[in-house]
């Protein structure tokens, strides 16, 4: 059965993209949950619908446009959070619904059934083309080249921004870069997981990893391993049972989380 799955090139692409996204989203998810930014991923993913709609109307590749759109949304969130007294959740809530509403209006101008839209909403293992794989791999590599050497700084500023600033860390720059990286990573995951479910891969592995870890190093490692297993099992399930890939991956991730919760409860 496994050799059958690996035989198809669309499955090969989905698995490679999934494994890359697993590392990327789980790593960023650890910092995102520490910063209580789980809703940010949700907001950016939903907001990307407008970018996808613009691309479809213009008949160009949706992923690059969705990425640019989401980065713009992330920058506006960053700016509004600092220039107004509004709470972060409020700013994200306003922007993501506004951007999504704009996307829905644009979509309504496109006649007929939109199969690509459905795959963007719910994710599809058939959706990853070679060009998407290059985009996912290339951007993931760039993000990780910045993220890995910045983990200590990002963790420190997430725990105590003032202490981090005094110690010489460029906290504003690093926070802004984190917002951009998180928005790009979230949109990269949209093709497999779908707009509606992609943020789960930011939250679930990090939440499960936290329940099973006692040190920061093990937290990162466990979260990434859980993420990779979740994606592989989810894609496998999606192929065998002909289920939407995003929903399959999220349900496997949720099962791991529940298992970890029970294990954690049994220990205490």
Residue ranges binding other proteins (CB under 8 A): 34, 152-153, 155-156, 159-160, 162-163, 165-168, 210, 213-219
Query: At closest approach, how far in Å is the CB of 214 from other proteins?
Result: 6
Alpha carbons 75 and 70: distance in angstroms, whole number: 9
Q: How far is it between the farthest Cα atoms of the chain?
A: 57
CB of 40 to other proteins, least distance (A): 17
Nearest-approach distance from CB 158 to other proteins, in angstroms: 9
Q: How far is the CB of 21 from other proteins (least distance, A)?
A: 23
Residue 155 Cβ vs other proteins, minimum distance, rounded to whole Å: 6
| HSE of 104, CA atoms in CB hemisphere, 13 A | 7
* Burial of 265: CB neighbours in 10 Å, binned 0-12, 13-18, 19+: exposed
Q: For residues 138 and 7, what is the distance between their CA atoms, to the nearest angstrom?
A: 24
The answer to whether 49 and 95 are in contact (CB under 8 A) is no
CB of 78 to other proteins, least distance (A): 18
- Shorter beta-carbon distance to other proteins: residue 97 or 167: 167
What is the Cβ-side half-sphere exposure of residue 155, based on CA atoms within 13 angstroms?
12
Measured from the CB atom, the residue of 36 and 134 that comes closer to other proteins is 36
User: Considering the complex, what minimum distance in angstroms separates the CB of residue 168 from other proteins?
Assistant: 6
59 vs 162, beta carbon nearer other proteins: 162
Nearer to other proteins, 88 or 165 (CB): 165
Both tokens assigned to 25: 């989203």
The count of other CB atoms within 10 Å of the CB of residue 223 is: 27
Closer CB to other proteins, 12 or 155, in the complex: 155
Lookup: tokens for 74: 């992330």
Residue number with CB closer to other proteins (114 or 213): 213
User: In this complex, which beta carbon is closest to other proteins, that of residue 153 or of residue 199?
Assistant: 153
């Amino acid at each position: 059965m496994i050799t059958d799955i690996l035989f198809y090139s669309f499955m090969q692409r989905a698995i490679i993209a999934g494994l890359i996204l697993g590392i990327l989203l789980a790593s960023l998810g650890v910092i995102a949950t520490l910063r209580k930014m789980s809703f940010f991923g949700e907001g950016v993913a939903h907001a990307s619908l407008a970018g996808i709609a613009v691309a479809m109307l213009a008949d160009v590749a949706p992923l690059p446009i969705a990425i640019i759109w989401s980065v713009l949304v992330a920058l506006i969130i960053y700016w509004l959070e600092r220039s107004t007294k509004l709470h972060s959740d409020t700013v994200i809530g306003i922007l993501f619904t506004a951007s999504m509403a704009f996307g829905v209006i644009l979509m309504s101008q496109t006649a007929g059934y939109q199969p690509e839209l459905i795959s963007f909403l719910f994710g599809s293992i058939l959706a990853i083309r070679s060009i998407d794989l290059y985009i996912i791999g290339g951007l993931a590599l760039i993000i990780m080249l910045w993220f890995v050497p910045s983990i200590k700084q990002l963790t420190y500023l997430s725990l105590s921004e003032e202490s981090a600033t005094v110690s010489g860390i460029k906290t504003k720059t690093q926070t802004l870069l984190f917002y951009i990286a998180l928005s790009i990573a979230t949109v990269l995951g949209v093709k497999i997981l779908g707009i509606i479910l992609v943020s789960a891969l930011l939250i679930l592995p990090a939440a499960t990893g936290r329940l099973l870890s006692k040190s920061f190093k093990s937290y990162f490692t466990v979260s990434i391993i859980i993420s990779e297993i979740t994606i592989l099992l989810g894609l496998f399930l999606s192929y065998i049972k002909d289920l939407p890939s995003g929903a399959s991956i999220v349900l496997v991730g949720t099962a791991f989380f529940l298992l970890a919760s029970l294990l954690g409860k049994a220990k205490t």
